[in-house]
Amino acid sequence: MCIIWLWSLLLINVLNTVAQDCPEYIRTQYDYIIVGAGTAGSVLAARLSEDPRVQVLLLEAGDKETDRPETPFITTPGLAKQLRNSSVDWKYFTHPQENALFGYKNKQAALPRGKVIGGTFALNDMIYQRGSPGIFDEWDKKGAKGWGFKHVAPYFRKSVDTKVIELSKSDLHRSCGPMTVSTLQPTSLLNVYFNATQSLGYDAINCNEKEDQGICRIQTNIRGGERLTTAKAYLNEARGRQNLNIVTKALVSRVLIARRQAVGIEFIFSNVSFQVLASNEVILSAGSYGSPKILFLSGIGSREHLYNLQIPVIADLPVGENLQDHISVDIRVFVNVSTMKPNSNLNRLMIDQYFYQRKGLMASIGGSEAFLFANTNKTRLSPYPDLQFTFTSTIADHDHKLLRVMNKDDELIKSWYSFGKKRDGITITVKLLHPKSRGHLKLNSTDPNEMPIIDPKYLSNVEDIKTLYEGIKIVKSIIETPIMQSIDATMEPTFKGCKEFKFDSDLYWKCYIQTFSDPGHHPVSTCKMGAFNDVRSVVDNKLRVKDVFNLRVVDASIFPEITDHPNAATIMIAERAAALILK
């Protein structure tokens, strides 16, 4: 009787509020309510609404991509960085760091996240990288049963339409899925990268195949010279379905829970609060920052944290813990050959080349061409590489306006970036693939409009600094190869922030890593998936929130361990989640 009474009360509340201001097509009840129209949410909405018998509501806090003045920037690959701090960005910032980000004001970096249909996929670098098969086998071994590589490979395959010739006959790829996977037009330096690394014993491999150590060409989600998000690839086709409603500018404030069962959601639209019921499930796909925030506001999280905020505790779970993100450092290498200059003023030729042919610099991802994956662990044979090196045929960004948007320190900008502005060079970025440091996310208040506290605790584990230093040694060995020396490759001590240390000393590189470290912008694991009896996990291996019925989380926040680039794996997770739900 109590449940029936509660449902009746909620329904009356819904009918009263919907009549005021909500979009006229919204229903009072759906089978599935999905929160967030990003990478995962777009896939889920499209797949679930393929069944005409179910009613699906998709809520997005941002606006439609086509309704934004930034639409040309979203569509054009080479303009992705211009979307930072725009109206399609949530404008998150890190908490001040103790061991990293010394080159940022107050040791705080901007954390761009998409607030638009398409989510962060609408403003990222469009790189398609699945991750080492070994990392998914590790997921399975550590409690996420059924998520080993053999289990997830079919869902990777289901999602792709590969245009990479070398992969056309691969059993891990296909050519009729929604997501186009392609390579970019190479520059003359691509062969230099391959030859230099191969001379050191690294193999040439195909990205996204079973081999996970060696050098490969970068693959992207670019189709016809334009960005291809899951919103375009999946959602556009589904928009006309009568059983799918999409509401934008809807900020979800909490999940409605009765007797440990999710029964609907509450959201804010045009400054008015609305409630909608879900007869089957509520699915959070709001990302590694958004999903834990909504769980906290709904009474799901650590008892101590919720108690401090005076939020009634429904389920005591480690929400917001285990935050993982990549961290990287750029190494600038000066050369005597002409390289790309993506931050110079766009000229008429570049613009015409893009708008008439969808080719050239504006159709690229800033000159990044190849990845080298390497394992520095000498004590044991690791099942997957711990470092990724990105070869970019341009000098590191020296766009002062963009760097200030990211909160870089003004003195660092002047001393480090300005030095190489008129010189030819390349950038080799060393990225830590599997950091040992763990951070957390917490609420600042119970106001759903307020940004959460995000503390990644970058480099808090000293092993991360050591691994990045090993990566810098590998960069030095690449620069010293005969083929790199044939183009006069040099690495000069141009970084003002560490001049008190002798260049190339251990102390210099530790300072360099801590000062010039950058966020990877790949947050995961804040709603970790694991075994049901694992006290460190939030969802089980079917992505169901523990101790609460009819509530799932489907996005990168459920990763037990970070992958190379989370976007491809997030698409896979959404494909698999849709199959689990419909089954």
Rounded distance, CA 568 to CA 372, Å? 18
Tokens of 390: 């990105």
Tokens of 407: 């909160």
All structural domains of the chain with their residue ranges: 2-64+230-323+524-582
* pLDDT 10s digits, 54-80: 999 999 999 987 777 778 888 888 888
Paired residues of 453 in beta bridges: 442
Residues belonging to the active site: 522, 565
How many other C-beta atoms are found inside a 10 Å radius of the C-beta of residue 171? 9
Q: Higher-confidence residue: 162 or 415?
A: 162
Q: Report whether 316 contacts 302 (CB < 8 A).
A: yes
Per the prediction, the chain carries an average pLDDT of 89
Residue 464 has pLDDT above 60, yes or no: yes
- Across the range 35-58, mean pLDDT stands at 97
Residue 347 has pLDDT above 80, yes or no: no
**pLDDT-based confidence at residue 21 (cuts at 50, 70, 90):** very low
- Across the range 345-370, mean pLDDT stands at 78
Residue 10: per-residue pLDDT: 40
Residue 364: per-residue pLDDT: 83
CA nearest neighbour of 293 among 276, 305, 278? 305
Q: Report whether 438 contacts 322 (CB < 8 A).
A: yes
Rounded distance, CA 172 to CA 157, Å? 6
How many other C-beta atoms are found inside a 10 Å radius of the C-beta of residue 129? 21
- Across the range 574-580, mean pLDDT stands at 97
Residue percentage of the chain with pLDDT more than 70:
90
Rounded distance, CA 580 to CA 543, Å? 9
Residue 115: per-residue pLDDT: 96
CA nearest neighbour of 441 among 428, 457, 426, 419? 457
Paired residues of 138 in beta bridges: none
Residue 139 has pLDDT above 70, yes or no: yes
**pLDDT-based confidence at residue 412 (cuts at 50, 70, 90):** confident
Rounded distance, CA 400 to CA 412, Å? 11
- What is Dmax (Cα atoms) for the chain? 81
Q: Higher-confidence residue: 357 or 287?
A: 287
Paired residues of 368 in beta bridges: 392
CATH fold for the domain made of 2-64+230-323+524-582: FAD/NAD(P)-binding domain (3.50.50)
**pLDDT-based confidence at residue 235 (cuts at 50, 70, 90):** very high
Residue 411: per-residue pLDDT: 78
- Across the range 287-291, mean pLDDT stands at 98
Rounded distance, CA 509 to CA 491, Å? 13
- Across the range 254-258, mean pLDDT stands at 97
- Across the range 10-28, mean pLDDT stands at 50
Which residues does 271 contact at the CB level (< 8 Å), separation at least 6? none
- Give the three-class secondary structure for 40: helix
CA nearest neighbour of 167 among 137, 128, 134? 128
- Pure H helices in 346-479: 348-357, 400-405, 410-412, 462-479
